Chain A
Amino acid sequence: MTTAADSSLHAAEPGSAPVVADRGLSRDVSDVVLERPTSRAWLIWALASLALTMVFAYAILHLFIAGVGIWGVNTSVVWGLALTNYVWWIGIGNAGTLISSMLYLTRQDWRSSINRFAEAMTLFAALIAGLFPILHLGRPWLFAWLVPYPTTMGLPPNFNSPLVWDFFAIAVYLIVSLTFWYIGAVPDFATLRDRARLRRQQVFYGILALGWRGSAGHWRRYERAYILIAALATPLVVSVHSVVGLDFAASVAPGWNEPIYPPYFVVGAMYSGFAMVVVLAAIIRSAFNLHAYITERHFDLMGKMMLFGALVLGYSYAMESFIGWYSAEDMHLSIVVYKATGDYWWVFWSLIACNVVIPQALWFPAARRRILPLVVIAILINIGMWLERYGIIVFTLSHGHMPSGRADYMPTVWDWALTIGSLGFFLLLFLVLVRLVPIVSMHEMRKLLRGRVQ
């Protein structure tokens, strides 16, 4: 795949890579932030997402006042949508940094036009993901006890627990992603500062630009810092979701206790992440007609990534079932059967369809290069991945070892309010971002173009 990308970019086939002058680039991109008036479409979207954010906020307030009893969770199925959403969002949050750092280290230049908003997506997703484990607590106001600080109780957290490592993983991931994103954006802030005409814009971006002048020295430092953090971020991408996988794998529950979980979670995360990037890319591209910078080729490549994910996931699912049988452990087998035929059979089969079967269409270039089918598939993948996480939690908990302890799970309106609300919140953050920050990394695009012109 790497080679494919390289060759395509260097031997610039017609229509593949953007052919525009620097100035045009800077204008096209920075005007989105500086010049263009707020469009009606933007307003409508913003209001809609604001409304959902209010729902989110109210659901949280009510949760704190009334307690987690308002959810559908019960004595056997003690976890529900809260953790489903947590794992899902963390998954989404994975791809951005993956695209930026891993592709940066592997010199995948085509990333330049998507990494900016992909990273932003990461930030917001991880932020929201980080909320859910806290909301999910029975006594959320005590979540600070997860932090190893010197209390008057003289009691540290339990470092055996995957949840503690979750806490660290997410915190570190957030910080590094933020730094990575910010450093990458500094030169562009400088561009904005210089192009800005309004005083307040100049000051605002001036501060963000940290006095960037684009001198050789600046660039040298920049390159070093950027690659360092990229190198730092890459293992984090892997670690953060591996730890989430361990939340389940480190248990004795049938269907959870499987060594395949960490890698399988990482791939799943990357998978859903890319799907989300595709959706956002498509929206941004048409909204700010950046067709010149986000080309079919990008979608084509991301399509290939998703196809890759679909194959690995398909393998993982197969492995799960195989091990269920191969372990000769009756509970493991029974849970495999239960998944496919039990109370939640529809969850299982629809996630198989969304995550494995339908994405096979991506074998066909037509499906990868044409936006509509690609976006539809991407959305289905995101739904499928959500269902996968839902299944992971509900299958096992509603069908445990103890026959007497088997009970089904039905989310309540409050569960859904949180779920939908978090989507709205994410959208709102993103909409605000596109008005403040150039959504395509201008300086990287310039480099890319120069590289081609000569």
Chain B
Amino acid sequence: MSADKHTLVDRLSRARQSGAKGPSRRTALKLMGATAAFSSLAGCVPPREEIVPYVDMPEGMVPGTPLFYASVSPTTGCGVLVESHDGRPTKIEGNPDHPMSLGATDAASQADVLDLYDPLRTEAVHRDGDLTSWGDFVASFRTRVRAHREQSGQGLAILTGAVRSLTLAGQLDSLSETMPEAAIYRHEPISDAATRAGAARSFGEPALPFPHLDRAEIVLFLDANLFAEPTTGVRHARDFAARRRARGGAGDFNRAYAVESETTTTGASCDHRLALPPSGIDRFAHALAARFGIGPEAGMDSDPADRFLDQVAADLDGHRGRGAVVAGRGLPAEIHDVVNRINVALGNAGTTISYLPPVDPGLDTLPGLAQLQDDAFAGRIDSLVILDCDPIYSAPDPERMRAALEAVDVTVHHGLYLDATAKACDWQIAARHFLEDWSDVQAADGTVAICQPLTRPLKGGRSVHELVALMAGDAVTAPHDLVRRTWQNRFEQEGADGGSFQERWRKVLHDGLVPGTGFTPIAPELAPAPPASSDASMPPKTDGLEIALSPDPFLWDGRRAANAWLQELPRPVTRLVWQNAMFLSPHDGAALDVSDGDMVRVKTNGATIELPATVQPGQAVGAASLHLGFGREIAGQVQNAQGVSAFSLRPDTDTWRLTGAKISKTGDHRPLLRTQHDFDTPDARTSEIVSLADYRALGPKEREEPPESLYPERLDDEGYAWAMVIDQSACIGCGACVAACQAENNVPVVGPEEIARNRDMHWLRVDVHQTPDETPETRFQPVPCMQCEKAPCEPVCPVEASVHDHEGLNDQVYNRCIGTRFCQSNCPYKVRRFNFFDYAGDPIQEAEQTPTEPSLLQALKNPDVTVRGRGVMEKCTYCVQRISAARRDAKVDGRALADGEIKTACQAVCPTQAITFGDKNDPGSAVSQLREEPHEYALFGHLGTRPRTTYLKRVVNAAPDLASDGHDGSEESG
């Protein structure tokens, strides 16, 4: 570890790691306190700085210029391009060639780089918590495995999560060939079991429906938060948005319906949304099925629901083969079956929906946790190896799991963190972060991408492949060789076409994916089995609240619980950070007499948890929603003390709904940690919408002249004039842009205490606007700096730290800023962020405490962006470092910048391509064309700030019959 750290620090100094202040100066400042007043005068000899060149520089490396390597995230299976500055991975972009990424990533993937440098990660090898060496482990474990192998694997057990790596799968197969008695278990806390089972009912084999939203004209999401799916969400969002682009007065729109309990990004992006509790959603599915002659006749119990049903049914019927009904993982298998049959009946199956085989068949064939526990107690397991999962945290009954582990003779845990499970094991082996490791990962559509290391293991971790190879008694143990071998064999089987292996391998590594590995969809032939009989299928109306569980969109099953960026990334719709809460409808909130922040106690399945409630307009009456993934213990400390784990409420790992739970008010109150408090938008100014019909009726854009300004007009009609247009029809509020901005611009994390003081540092935020009515309609509005041409922040700054440049950027000069905060007080958009403390010093800055030594985390910083110190104002810069880099390259080559050559971090990552950036002086550029769109508008244009960032109104394709409730542009669009 220390060795790695040193080389890293060397590289830092070489890459001139840019900090407006190093830790030394920070502490000095602390000591000097008031006398620091004179530090600006005392200049003299500059501080000593070392230049540490390579001894022998790797080829293709140019000091000071970043390199990009193709790799893949094991969690999402989506291909990525990793930016590396002098050997330091600093930023992740999507891989445009990868079908599940198409150049974008989800929010969580942006934060993977933070995990790489996470000080909380466990090191090397521990035995019962004491540091030992890999050598010791091998020595003691090899003999043990040999013993197992002699009894053909008797007593050896392996527990893994879903296996997405072909190499690993192959290794496990060969292991069970050599040791048929060895037991292999699967544990995936967030599983698609019901979806697969549903497909098995319908088509006779487990499969996962993959809707092609770019082909579907009518989409119905049944409790399906598709856009938040780590593996497929990005692609789905892209396809969905492709059918929602209003351009040049035209635009072929799909019409999207959502029936869900909790307001999700997916639901909020639809034209019509119906809030129903889980049981109600089942009823809806059955009722819909009935419309197409599947199952017994049924209806909904409320008028709006019935009208909604009629409309959906009519639309789907009118678009046979061009519609799609999508069911979420939370629904029971039989509902999935019903939905599959609806899609077959409508001819959507196979056209707008393909059914793909699951990436890890083991999830269906291999035993799970329950079996593991039984075997352990029955003494059938002597050695248990746990590969990268935390069952004690995510098991329905943690104590039983813990007991099971104790019942096993020797337990080995392989993972990134010293979590609860690791602590309960005898051996703790540090896993490698995927940026340190070789592997191959299969995406949801089957495409395989190769994962290649960008740095040596910073924490002396070991590859999972190496560990399994050790168990299988494989001669080859180097991860690179193992992965390479897998593909050598595979290519040889396929035949020699495509040149020598070496060429193909290099190409695969370069492109980041193996061509031709996509799944072929299974044929959707219905199995004869009829859907269950009506009385069984019609769930009884339960009394009391139904609890609907779902994974947190960022932390997912808790695997990212240690990631401060994601903890502090405002959740879509609720803008909650650092905590989960129980969402209640206003009606139920009143019934329970709880309001935002009141603590509630949830009792069910013998487990009890307490957490704050929040009253969410748009939440289904009768449903209380809860997010999993919080409250995980890592390195002895529970991540986000505010969050609570809800896994223990589940009777088993595949349950998503709880009925008959006791929910009561405890009486305590804990103010919610959120970055937005006021959601109502009575004035249409902030986030306007327009119905598709009205949009088509709009004539060409007429620009109303902005109010006169007292300040001199700038001549910005020559040279570049940067501008940004954000399409609110496309924005799904996923927050990827915010995460990308944080990664690109060294945006610090402030921690829960500061959030509670209404302080945060995000340069870009996704505002949530909700119409204040019964069925509120949620609109998302990403708000970066508006880069006003007549910026109110500029004239008021006494030291010219906020100034305009000739390309229209509103520069913020950190080193000149003295922190009057006049700019922010005068900013109508409140996009500026102030370093009240030395936030950049540490990822989670405790107030009034500054770190004394440079942490590994400094290696994460983007060297092209100044790290802001205490007392300095900062804000979105349109990624000026990217603009500048591109401009300098163009100047060196003596050419002009091409449109689209510069992509801001938020633009590059956006799954729906809602953000367009470019030169508004170039009439041909995408951005200047969008600025001519009739539904383009400037936020608070009436103030005369003349923003360079403008918006396209959200266009809603409302169904005429439902126009009255929910989305209807016609009223607001005026």
Contact = CB atoms under 8 A, between A and B. Distances in A.
Contacts of B765: 404
Contacts of B676: 404
A144 B798 CA distance: 11
Contacts of B143: none
B798 A157 contact: yes
Interface in B638-686: 676-681, 683, 686
A252 interface: yes
B480 interface: no
A142 interface: yes
B821 A141 contact: no
A69 B683 contact: no
B847 A79 contact: no
A251 B794 CA distance: 11
B826 A164 contact: no
Given A67-B870, A70-B848, A251 B837 contact: no
B291 interface: no
Interface in A40-66: 60-61, 64-66
Contacts of A397: 825
A76 interface: yes
Contact of A61 (B34, B799, B838): B34
Nearest to B754: A69
A267 B816 CA distance: 36
B407 interface: no
A407 interface: yes
B921 interface: no
B819 A401 contact: no
B37 A141 contact: yes
Contact of B680 (A61, A143, A403): A403
A39 interface: no
A138 B817 CA distance: 9
A297 interface: no
Contacts of A251: 792, 796, 825-826
Interface in B12-66: 30, 33-34, 36-40
B797 A402 contact: no
A161 interface: yes
Nearest to B943: A252
A68 B943 contact: no
Interface stretch (B184-192, B440-448, B756-764): B756-764
B828 A400 contact: yes
B850 to A, nearest CB: 9
A286 interface: no
A317 interface: no
A145 B818 contact: yes
A75 B829 CA distance: 12
Interface residues of B, number: 62
Interface of B is mostly: loop
B783 interface: yes
A3 interface: no
A421 to B, nearest CB: 15
A95 B20 CA distance: 44
Interface in A140-189: 140-146, 155-158, 160-164, 167
Contacts of A140: 37, 818
Interface string B841-875: 00000011000000000000000000000111100
Interface in B777-810: 783, 792, 794-800
A135 to B, nearest CB: 11
Contacts of B816: 145, 155
A76 B758 contact: yes
Contacts of B33: 61, 64-65
A396 to B, nearest CB: 8
A160 B795 contact: yes
Contacts of B767: 402-404
Nearest to A140: B37
Nearest to A250: B796
A158 B801 CA distance: 9
B799 A157 contact: yes
Contacts of B826: 251-253
B835 interface: yes
A61 B31 CA distance: 11
Given A73-B836, A251-B792, A406 B677 contact: yes
Nearest to A68: B836
Given A146-B799, A403-B686, A404-B783, A69 B821 contact: no
A142 B792 CA distance: 23
B818 A137 contact: yes
A75 B681 contact: no
Contact of B822 (A70, A163, A403): A163
Contacts of A402: 686, 767, 783, 828-830
A452 interface: no
B829 A163 contact: no
A136 interface: yes
A69 B679 CA distance: 27
Contacts of A405: 829-830
Interface in A77-98: 77-79
Given A79-B825, A163-B820, A403-B680, A155 B795 contact: no
Contacts of A68: 819, 836, 871
A255 B940 CA distance: 16
A251 B822 CA distance: 9
Contacts of A406: 677-678
A74 interface: yes
Nearest to B873: A138
Contacts of A75: 758-760, 824, 830, 833-834
Contacts of A145: 798-799, 816, 818
Contacts of A252: 792, 826, 828, 943, 945
A138 B871 contact: yes
B603 to A, nearest CB: 35
B768 interface: yes
Interface in B745-763: 754, 757-760
Contacts of A69: 754, 759, 836-837, 847-848
A137 B680 contact: no
Contact of A157 (B678, B783, B794, B800): B800
Contacts of B678: 403-404, 406
A64 B36 contact: yes
Interface string A372-405: 0000000000000000000000000100111111
Contacts of A164: 798
B859 to A, nearest CB: 26
B769 interface: yes
**Which among A70, A78, A250 has the greatest number of chain B C-beta atoms within 10 A?**
A78
Contacts of B834: 75, 78, 138
A138 B37 CA distance: 12
A6 interface: no
Nearest to B833: A75
B802 to A, nearest CB: 9
A137 B836 contact: no
B768 to A, nearest CB: 7
B34 to A, nearest CB: 5
A33 to B, nearest CB: 34
B575 to A, nearest CB: 8
B34 A74 contact: no
14 contacts: A69-B836, A73-B836, A75-B759, A75-B760, A138-B819, A141-B40, A145-B798, A155-B800, A247-B822, A252-B826, A252-B943, A401-B943, A403-B686, A404-B765
Closest 4 CB pairs of A and B: A138-B819, A138-B871, A69-B836, A405-B830
Interface of A: 60-61, 64-70, 72-79, 133, 136-146, 155-158, 160-164, 167, 247, 250-253, 330, 397, 400-408
Given A66-B848, A70-B848, A251-B792, 8 more contacts: A66-B837, A138-B818, A138-B871, A141-B38, A158-B798, A253-B825, A402-B783, A402-B828
Interface of B: 30, 33-34, 36-40, 676-681, 683, 686, 754, 757-760, 765, 767-769, 783, 792, 794-800, 816-822, 824-826, 828-830, 833-838, 847-848, 870-873, 940, 943, 945
